[in-house]
Amino acid sequence: MVPDFLTIAEAAALIGKRELSPVELTESRLARIERFDDKLHSFIRVLREPALAAARRAEAEIMGGNYRGPLHGIPIGLKDIYETKGVPTTGHSKILIDHVPQQNAASVRRLTDAGAIVVGKLATHEFALGGPSFDLPWPPARNPWNTSRFTGGSSSGTGAAVAAGLVLGGTGSDTGGSIRGPAAFCGLAGLKPSYGRISRVGILPLAFSLDHAGPMAWTAEDCAIMLQAMAGYDPADPASADRPVPDYRAALSGDVKGIRIGLIRHFYENDNPADEATRQGIAAAVNVFEGLGCSVRELRLSPLAEWAACGVMIMLSEAYAIHQATLRERFDDYGELFRDRMALAALVSGGDYVQAVRRRRELAAEFTTAMADLDLAITAAAPGEAPAIDAVSKFSTFERPMLTMPFNVTGTPAMSVCCGYSPAGLPLAFQLCGKPFDEATVLRAAHAYETATPWRSVRPRLEP
Amino acid sequence: MKQPEHWGDGIVKTQDMTRAEVETALARAGLEVPEREKSEIAAAAHFIQEMAERVRGRRAMSAEPAHIFPPPGE
């Protein structure tokens, strides 16, 4: 009997010892999808037979002594903006409902080369921006902790599927917070790596200069395992960084003594005030880090609205450029949220776009200076628990400055880490933010925190 | 434009674009937007104005944008 919930690391340990069959593991996830996904809507497309065939191949390879590593035989899901050879990749949109790519995205190739089993394509907000929407070809994903609640977005299906144990990990993309938001609301670990760390080739773009691909899983260790496979230079991506990729899992030493952390309190106390439970969760997390030997001091940056304005102006402008022609021809074929957010983008002038990009340089320099004598920063990942799914407004992105956007503006790594549960039993989270290409320190600190706290042992109770 | 009205720490509200200004901009963009949605977009247009005000700022003429990059191989 395969347990309902397993981390990638736990499953890999069993598979490596030949105590767990990749076929049984994949069958168990397919059974859970069949049992629970009618309510969760986390999958757009389940790839049952290809997944079982891949699991059988993985099993044969492992039994033949060709174990590839900790992703070998692990069922994962792909946000449906990651292109898959011969399998529709829709962006959760009618616009691309018949789009069948000829190649896998570069990061998908890396994951399958590492032995991961792709179980299916996961729900997203339309083109990673418009959601939660009820007028698209597929319904929006629901939060496994309470299906009346929002998953966060845009990597909504990945958040739901991993939290529900339908897959052990999945891919997300993050242009303003689309990995960290659903990770926070669904209780996962979600890592937005440095800009350029993971190839964007074969991932439907939202905004070229802000798009980051990344892993979403139950733990920091699982994110480290996935990042190891996904990261690396890709000459086909003009934004790809030719930087060494360290051994992320080896970095999870548990020892965080001496790490210097800046607490960006004003982001969640003044600029976008978080609820009391989130503030308490972060205060308790600071105590945990201090208890582990870290030093924590206040860090003050420009007001959050400055970072959000810069990022949102760039995001809207670049997204509008991508969809401009199709919006003119097929406005009604987009969902209302996406098309109306794009219509707002039509009001941004070229001059203001360039001003936003100039502002980005100033803000990135400010962050570099502020972090000169620090290793990490902490702030909230979301202002509270997941709201009701039908309470998310069309222009919610603009109503309150996003806590996640600053680290898309800087292009530096940032991770959502669960720090407990609200009185309603919904996950709460903070962000750990690092220096450029130092995902290893972010993961090390997140892993140490998870190990020192009980939150990873709590899973949602699902009803068929 | 009217002076920004501060809502609290770090949040600015400016005067809304008029419905006519928004309609002109949408028409110029070639977007055929249903009437109901036009009203909602017009009501939200102030968000764009507020963000534009924020990013404009005063800076030196030589202040570079973030996407200036070295040629390949440099």
Shortest distance between the Cα of B1 and any Cα of chain A, in A, equals 16
Structure tokens at A324: 């401009």
Residue with tokens 């720090």: A419
Residue in B33, B37, B48 nearest the CB of A348: B48
Beta-ladder partners of A252: none
Cβ-defined contact of A359 to B31 (cutoff 8 Å)? no
A253 is catalytic: no
Count of CB atoms within 10 A of residue A462's CB?
A: 18
Q: What is the rounded CA–CA span in Å between residue A146 and residue A426?
A: 8
pLDDT at position A130 is 84
Give the phi and the psi of residue A245 in degrees, each rounded to 5.
-105, 115
A-B CB pairs within 8 A amount to: 112
Q: Are strands A295-298 and A212-217 parallel, antiparallel or unpaired?
A: unpaired
Query: A154, A173, A240, A317: which one is catalytic?
Result: A154
Element (H, E) at A46: strand A43-46
Q: What is the rounded CA–CA span in Å between residue B66 and residue B64?
A: 7
Query: Domain spanning A8-457: which CATH class is it, in words?
Result: alpha beta
Query: A178, A209, A317, A416: which one is catalytic?
Result: A178
Cβ-defined contact of A355 to B57 (cutoff 8 Å)? yes
pLDDT at position B6 is 38
Q: Has residue B5 got a pLDDT over 60?
A: no
> Do residues A120 and A85 touch, judged by C-beta distance below 8 A?
no
Structure tokens at A21: 């069959």
Structure tokens at B72: 């390949």
Cα–Cα nearest to A418, from A400, A401, A430, A408: A430
Residue with tokens 């790596």: A193
Structure tokens at A142: 């629901």
Residue ranges per structural domain of chain A? 8-457
Chain B residues within an 8 Å CB radius of A334? none
Cβ-defined contact of B11 to A355 (cutoff 8 Å)? no
A393 is catalytic: no
Does the CB of B31 have a partner CB in chain A at under 8 Å? yes
Residue in A328, A347, A349 nearest the CB of B22: A347
Q: What is the rounded CA–CA span in Å between residue A170 and residue A396?
A: 26
Degrees (nearest 5) of the Cα angle B35, B40, B45? 120
Q: Is the dihedral of CA A306, A309, A314, A315 positive or negative?
A: positive
Give the phi and the psi of residue A349 in degrees, each rounded to 5.
-85, 160
pLDDT, tens digit (0-9, with 9 covering 90-100), for A311-324: 999 999 999 999 99
Chain B residues within an 8 Å CB radius of A196? none
Chain A residues within an 8 Å CB radius of B40? 340, 394-395
Chain A residues within an 8 Å CB radius of B55? 309-310, 313, 352, 355-356, 358-359
Range A83-88 contact pairs with CB under 8 angstroms and sequence separation of 24 or more: A83/A108, A83/A202, A83/A203, A83/A204, A84/A108, A84/A118, A84/A121, A87/A45, A87/A47, A87/A50, A87/A121, A88/A45, A88/A121
**Nearest-Cα residue of chain A relative to residue B50:** A309
Q: What is the rounded CA–CA span in Å between residue A119 and residue A208?
A: 28
Q: Is the dihedral of CA A84, A87, A92, A97 positive or negative?
A: positive
- Helix (H, G, I), strand (E, B), or coil: what is residue A435? coil
Cβ-defined contact of A357 to B67 (cutoff 8 Å)? yes
**Nearest-Cα residue of chain A relative to residue B13:** A399
A154 is catalytic: yes
Residue with tokens 């080369």: A113
Q: What is the rounded CA–CA span in Å between residue A82 and residue A330?
A: 23
Beta-ladder partners of A433: A377, A414
List of E strands, A308-440: 376-380, 414-421, 427-434
Does the CB of B40 have a partner CB in chain A at under 8 Å? yes
**Nearest-Cα residue of chain A relative to residue B28:** A346
Chain A residues within an 8 Å CB radius of B44? 344, 394-395, 398
**A80: burial class by Cβ within 10 Å (0-12, 13-18, 19+)?**
buried
Which residues of chain A fall below pLDDT 50? none
**A260: burial class by Cβ within 10 Å (0-12, 13-18, 19+)?**
middle
Size of chain B in residues? 74
Structure tokens at A302: 């420009």
Q: Has residue B70 got a pLDDT over 70?
A: no
Helices (H), A168-247: 180-186, 220-230
pLDDT at position B16 is 65
> Do residues A167 and A207 touch, judged by C-beta distance below 8 A?
no
pLDDT at position A463 is 85
pLDDT, tens digit (0-9, with 9 covering 90-100), for A224-258: 999 999 999 999 999 999 999 999 999 998 899 99
Cα–Cα nearest to A153, from A286, A346, A337, A17: A337
Q: What is the rounded CA–CA span in Å between residue A15 and residue A1?
A: 14
pTM, entire model: 0.96
Does the CB of A368 have a partner CB in chain B at under 8 Å? no
Shortest distance between the Cα of A356 and any Cα of chain B, in A, equals 5
Structure tokens at B65: 């944008």
- Choose, out of B7, B28, B48, the residue to mutate when testing the contact with A (most A CBs < 10 Å): B48
Cβ-defined contact of A331 to B33 (cutoff 8 Å)? yes
- Choose, out of A269, A329, A332, A355, the residue to mutate when testing the contact with B (most B CBs < 10 Å): A355
DSSP A167: S
Q: What is the rounded CA–CA span in Å between residue A3 and residue A1?
A: 6
Element (H, E) at A313: helix A304-330
pLDDT, tens digit (0-9, with 9 covering 90-100), for B11-64: 444 556 788 889 999 999 999 999 999 999 999 999 999 999 999 988 999 999
**Nearest-Cα residue of chain B relative to residue A316:** B48
Cβ-defined contact of A271 to B65 (cutoff 8 Å)? no
H and E: helices and strands count for chain B: 2, 2
- What angle, 0 to 180 degrees and rounded to 10, lies between the N-to-C axes of helices A276-291 and A439-452? 100
The CA distances from residue A283 to A144, A264, A377, A419, in Å, are: 26, 12, 14, 10
pLDDT at position B52 is 95
Chain A residues within an 8 Å CB radius of B66? 209, 357-358, 360-361, 364
**Nearest-Cα residue of chain B relative to residue A358:** B65
Cβ-defined contact of B44 to A358 (cutoff 8 Å)? no
> Do residues A234 and A199 touch, judged by C-beta distance below 8 A?
yes
Does the CB of B23 have a partner CB in chain A at under 8 Å? no
Does the CB of B63 have a partner CB in chain A at under 8 Å? yes
Structure tokens at B71: 């040629």
